Amino acid sequence: MKNHIEKGQKLLYTALVGVIAGDPVVIGSRLGVADTNIGTGETGVLSMEGVFSLPKSTGAISQGADCYFDVDGAPVDASNAGAITITASGNVAAGYAFAAAGSADTHVKVKLRG
């Protein structure tokens, strides 16, 4: 197909602040995950599709539930700000829960919406 550019599974991203590999990164109204460490002002690659284990807020999440990323959310393990939640209001759509996660679980497997 002559107008096909790429599959769109990866996105080049220039970091405003440093990002650690595996960190969720908000791009407009989308969520990606850093493939590698990206220094402030550097360009790196984000995965925009796939299933990732991401930090979650307190509360159970059912398999298949719509998931959102709260940039100010407190993860169960209190590691950093930002956590997956099932609350849509004010948060960035992330995808859906690929597997269920209990209230005390620190992470949930999320299929990114791409």
The CA distance from 54 to 56, in Å, is 6
Buried b (16+ CB within 10 A) or exposed e, 62-94: eeeeebbbbeebebbeeeeebbbbbeeeebbeb
pTM of the model: 0.89
SS3 label, residue 13: strand
Give the model's confidence band at 79: pLDDT under 50 very low, under 70 low, under 90 confident, else very high. low
Q: Smallest Cα–Cα separation from 109: which of 14, 36, 55, 99?
A: 99
pLDDT tens by residue, 26-60: 999 999 999 999 999 999 999 999 999 999 998 99
